[in-house]
Amino acid sequence: HRSIGTVAIKDDLLYLADFSGLFHCLDAKGDGNGNPKVYWTYDMLAASWGSPLIADGKVYIGDEDGDVSIFPLTKEKQEEPMEEINMGSSVYSTPVAANGSLFISTKDKLFRITEGDQGAE
């Protein structure tokens, strides 16, 4: 599968989203024989153009359907994201964490999300 974004690595866990919509967690060291060691793969059902972001013990990844999926930083198999936020428009960029906020750019808007946000009123 093709990938447009780069990988994110922390604690020997390598996260990679591919253009077919699959999000992978691999052992950054491999299996010792030059082969990848895959811990889990999640099907986002939409292409991912950006790179994963690791922040605060979580991994964030956006997709073409406008969803930002949030996973725990773990090698344990993930059947579903721990949370998913629909941004209302395709997310073609990589989320950015800065100054206690998460910034997400969609096709036509820039969002700033801070802990405790309850959404628009």
Instruction: Say what the alpha-carbon torsion angle 119, 10, 22, 65 is, to the nearest 10 degrees.
Output: 20
List, as one string, the DSSP characters of 77-96: --SS-SEEEE-SS---S--E
> Which DSSP state fits 112?
E
Amino acid at 77: K
Q: What is the pLDDT along the chain (121 residues), one digit of tens a residue?
A: 778 889 999 999 999 999 999 999 999 999 999 899 999 999 999 999 999 999 999 999 999 999 999 999 999 999 999 999 999 999 999 999 999 999 999 999 999 999 776 655 4
Please, which residues bridge with residue 111 across strands?
104
Domain boundaries, the chain: 8-114
CATH of 8-114, one of 2.40.128.630, 3.40.50.10320, 3.40.50.620, 3.40.190.10: 2.40.128.630
Q: Can you give the pTM of this predicted structure? A: 0.90
